[in-house]
């Protein structure tokens, strides 16, 4: 995705979103030849109407994210079972164990890096175990998923073409890696997601190599960076508010609602893409078949017409109809897992560390991306 120039230049993306919601909640950017949707209502409409706003972006519909019905439903149902709230609930003891193991040594040391020591390894270990790939390879996954969500690095004089080439190279490395993991599972099936994918049939056909690998890639990349950022964003938000931190420590049943508010207030996924299939009107604007649309979830989740005091973090906010996990048929498959991982991570941290404070807030840098926020 090529980000809007104004956003790259903005010192605070949320301030810029606010301005855009005021002056042009749905606008066409000539330079990128793209529609930008900043308002909640427009975002929800776009995500609901999958017939007019297709997920097929022209890069081949190999991943669930880029499929439309009826194909989308067939593919989603293959893995849906593993991600239902009931299946996910069963994983809680194991997730707790991983969180405790990651934390015990760090907390005793008296200081930690929330991202490197907890927020990054926890979701990678969990999804690696679900898929059946060695969690030891997590540094590789991190390198790859970081590269896949990166934007054009203007500071380094990078061009859009160079970024695309780099992403293609990373995708090749990933396919190569998973190719051998899948081969191993073919020879020795186990009780994990890769083995389930190998057994799956769509219209009596097993998945071809590409479909199989793109599933693995999607689960690994979609779920990691995002959940890492949810945990990091939550900790930053709580550490900035010491009184809230004390409230959460005293009553951890407040955590789930507070996590929902983090999802709204600092949405880990900031933008989604769609393509217009037939001429349509959105917010009074005429969109044409073939046009590209970017839906700014980060902005929609701060829309003052939907959320009272939208720029305030309200840990008990209710109702909280944020769309941080998307909306409609592509609603995040891993939402229950991400919520559970965040709750367990934060609960364990509050339990094990009797006091917590930011050592040096000046060292905290936002990610260089307009796609993810962390
Ligand atoms: C889809 C966000 C965690 C797997 C999505 C979408 C969003 C999203 C916004 C919709 C994409 C679209 O409409 O184009 C998030 C956030 C997460 C998170 C904010 C963490 C806080 C996870 C996890 C997994 C996962 C842990 C799995 C391990 C998926 C999959 C889809 C998806 C497979 C595609 C669903 C479909 O196309 O039907 N996610 N996600 N996500 N997510 Fe997540």
Tell me: the pLDDT tens digits for 283-312? Answer: 999 999 999 999 999 999 999 999 999 999
In this predicted structure, the answer to whether residue 1 has a pLDDT above a threshold of 80 is: no
**Atom number of ligand 1 nearest to Cα 338:** 26
Q: Which of 75, 41, 38, 40 is nearest to 55 (CA)?
A: 75
Q: Is residue 128 part of a domain?
A: yes
Global pTM reads: 0.94
Q: Is residue 274 part of a domain?
A: yes
Q: What is the pLDDT of residues 202-222, one digit of tens each?
A: 888 898 888 888 888 888 878
pLDDT for the residue numbered 9: 87
* 3-state SS class at 286: strand
Q: Is residue 96 part of a domain?
A: yes
In this predicted structure, the answer to whether residue 186 has a pLDDT above a threshold of 70 is: yes
| Beta bridge mates, 271 | 296
In this predicted structure, the answer to whether residue 146 has a pLDDT above a threshold of 90 is: no
Q: What is the pLDDT of residues 76-131, one digit of tens each?
A: 999 998 999 999 999 999 999 999 999 987 888 889 999 999 999 999 999 999 99
Rounded Cα distance between 239 and 251, Å, is 16
Mean pLDDT of the chain: 92
Q: Is residue 372 part of a domain?
A: no
Lowest mean pLDDT among 6-10, 21-25, 284-288, 366-370: 366-370
207 lines ligand 1 (CB under 6 A): no
* 3-state SS class at 34: strand
Q: What share of the chain is helix, strand, coil (3-state, %, to 5)?
A: 60, 10, 35
The residue-averaged pLDDT of 161-170 equals: 84
Q: How many domains does the chain have?
A: 1
Residue located via tokens 């859009």: 160
66 lines ligand 1 (CB under 6 A): no
> Does this complex have an ipTM over 0.85?
yes
Q: Is residue 294 part of a domain?
A: yes
**Burial class of residue 36, CB neighbours in 10 A (0-12, 13-18, 19+):** buried
Strand ranges inside the chain, DSSP E: 26-29, 34-37, 53-54, 201-202, 205-206, 271-276, 280-282, 285-287, 292-296
**Continuous segment of H or E residues that includes residue 28:** strand 26-29
88 lines ligand 1 (CB under 6 A): no
pLDDT for the residue numbered 61: 63
CB 109 within 8 A of CB 353: no
In this predicted structure, the answer to whether residue 57 has a pLDDT above a threshold of 90 is: no
Range of the domain at 207: 5-363
**Atom number of ligand 1 nearest to Cα 224:** 26
Residues 6+ apart with CB under 8 A from 168: none
In this predicted structure, the answer to whether residue 64 has a pLDDT above a threshold of 70 is: yes
DSSP code of 279? -
Residue located via tokens 């439309």: 68
Rounded Cα distance between 141 and 145, Å, is 6
pLDDT for the residue numbered 60: 60
Q: Is residue 374 part of a domain?
A: no
Rounded distance from Cα 67 to ligand 1 centre (Å): 14
Query: How far does Cα 147 stand from its chain's mean position?
Result: 15
Q: Which of 235, 269, 222 is nearest to 116 (CA)?
A: 235
Q: Is residue 371 part of a domain?
A: no
131 lines ligand 1 (CB under 6 A): no
Q: What is the pLDDT of residues 345-371, one digit of tens each?
A: 999 999 999 899 998 888 888 888 888
Q: Is residue 285 part of a domain?
A: yes
Rounded distance from Cα 180 to ligand 1 centre (Å): 25
Residue 86 belongs to a domain with what CATH number?
1.10.630.10
Rounded Cα distance between 228 and 314, Å, is 22
Residue nearest to atom 30 of ligand 1 (CA): 333
In this predicted structure, the answer to whether residue 59 has a pLDDT above a threshold of 80 is: no
In this predicted structure, the answer to whether residue 152 has a pLDDT above a threshold of 70 is: no
330 lines ligand 1 (CB under 6 A): yes
The residue-averaged pLDDT of 182-202 equals: 92
Rounded distance from Cα 218 to ligand 1 centre (Å): 9
pLDDT for the residue numbered 3: 85
């Amino acid at each position: 995705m090529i980000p809007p120039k104004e956003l790259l230049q903005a010192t605070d993306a949320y301030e810029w979103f606010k301005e855009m919601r005021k002056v042009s909640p749905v606008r066409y950017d000539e330079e990128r030849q793209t529609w930008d949707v900043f308002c909640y209502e427009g975002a929800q409409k776009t995500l609901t109407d999958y017939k007019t706003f297709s997920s097929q972006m022209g890069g081949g519909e190999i991943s669930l994210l880029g499929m439309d019905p009826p194909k989308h439903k067939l593919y989603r149902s293959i893995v849906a079972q593993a991600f239902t709230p009931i299946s996910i609930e069963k994983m809680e003891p194991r997730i707790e164990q991983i969180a405790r193991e990651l934390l015990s040594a760090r907390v005793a040391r008296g200081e930690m890096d929330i991202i490197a020591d907890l927020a990054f390894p926890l979701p990678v270990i969990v999804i690696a175990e679900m898929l059946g790939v060695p969690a030891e390879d997590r540094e590789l996954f991190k390198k790859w998923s970081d590269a896949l969500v990166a934007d054009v690095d203007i500071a380094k004089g990078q061009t859009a073409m160079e970024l695309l080439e780099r992403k293609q190279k990373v995708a090749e490395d990933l396919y190569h890696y998973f190719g051998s993991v899948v081969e191993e599972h073919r020879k020795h099936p186990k009780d994990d997601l890769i083995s389930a994918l190998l057994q799956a049939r769509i219209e009596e056909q097993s998945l071809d190599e590409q479909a199989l690998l793109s599933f693995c890639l999607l689960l690994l990349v979609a779920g990691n960076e995002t959940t890492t950022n949810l945990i990091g964003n939550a900790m930053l938000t709580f550490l900035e508010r010491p009184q809230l931190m004390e409230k959460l420590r005293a009553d951890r049943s407040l955590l789930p609602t507070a996590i929902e508010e983090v999802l709204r207030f600092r949405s880990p996924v900031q933008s989604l893409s769609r393509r217009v299939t037939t001429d349509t009107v959105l917010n009074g604007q005429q969109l044409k078949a073939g046009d590209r649309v970017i839906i700014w979830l980060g902005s929609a989740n701060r829309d003052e017409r939907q959320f009272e005091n939208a720029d305030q973090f309200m840990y008990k906010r209710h109702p909280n109809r944020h769309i941080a996990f998307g909306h409609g048929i592509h609603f995040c498959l891993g939402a229950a897992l991400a919520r559970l991982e965040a709750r367990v991570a934060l609960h364990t941290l509050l339990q094990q560390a009797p006091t917590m404070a930011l050592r040096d807030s000046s060292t905290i840098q936002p990610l260089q991306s307009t796609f993810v926020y962390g």
